[in-house]
Amino acid sequence: MIKAKTFGLVYSVIFSFLLSCSSVSTEQRANVTILPPEELYGELFYDVQTKEIFPDSKTFVDAIPKKNVKEIRREYKALEDKSMASISAFVEDNFEIPGGETSYEADSSSINQHIKKLWQVLKRPADEQHSGTLIPLPNPYIVPGGRFREIYYWDSYFTMLGLQEDGETETIRNMVDNFAYLINNYGFIPNGNRTYYLGRSQPPFFAMMVQVLAEEEGDEVYVEYLEEMQKEYEFWMAGAEKLNSGKPSHRRVVQLAEGEILNRYWDDNPGPRPESYREDIKTAEDAVTASPNLTKEEVYIHLRAGAESGWDYSSRWLDADASGEFDLSTIHTTNIIPVDLNSLLYNLEGTIAKTHDLAGNSSEAEKFSAKQQKRKNLILKYCWNRETKFFMDYNFRRNKYTEILSLAGVYPLFFEIADGQQASQVAEKIENKFLKPGGVVTTLNPTGEQWDAPNGWAPLQWVTITGLRNYGKELLADEIKMRWLQVNQDVYDRTYKMLEKYNVEDLTKESGGGEYPTQDGFGWTNGVFQKLSAEE
Active-site amino acid positions: 312, 500
Q: Which residues are CB-neighbours of 194 under 8 A, at least 6 positions away?
A: 61, 62, 133, 134, 135, 150, 275
What is the separation, in whole angstroms, between the first and last Cα of the chain?
55
Question: What gap in Å lies between CA 412 and CA 419, rounded to an integer?
Answer: 9
Q: Is 429 helix (H, G, I), strand (E, B) or coil?
A: helix
Q: Are 200 and 341 in contact, with CB atoms under 8 Å apart?
A: no
Q: Are 511 and 533 in contact, with CB atoms under 8 Å apart?
A: no
Q: Are 425 and 291 in contact, with CB atoms under 8 Å apart?
A: no
Beta carbons within 10 angstroms of residue 78's beta carbon: 7
Question: What gap in Å lies between CA 410 and CA 462, rounded to an integer?
Answer: 10
Query: Packing angle between helix 153-165 and helix 458-470, nearest 10 degrees?
Result: 70
Helix, strand, coil shares of the chain as percentages rounded to 5? 55, 10, 35
Question: What gap in Å lies between CA 311 and CA 206, rounded to an integer?
Answer: 18
Q: Which residues are CB-neighbours of 203 under 8 A, at least 6 positions away?
A: 153, 154, 309, 310, 340, 341, 344
Question: What gap in Å lies between CA 472 and CA 467, rounded to an integer?
Answer: 9
What one-character DSSP code corresponds to residue 123? E
Q: Is 131 exposed, middle or buried (0-12, 13-18, 19+ CB in 10 A)?
A: middle
Q: Are 22 and 184 in contact, with CB atoms under 8 Å apart?
A: yes
What is the sign, positive or negative, of the torsion defined by CA atoms of 457, 459, 460, 462?
positive
Question: What gap in Å lies between CA 144 and CA 98, rounded to an integer?
Answer: 15
What one-character DSSP code corresponds to residue 137? -
Which amino acid does the sequence have at 509? K
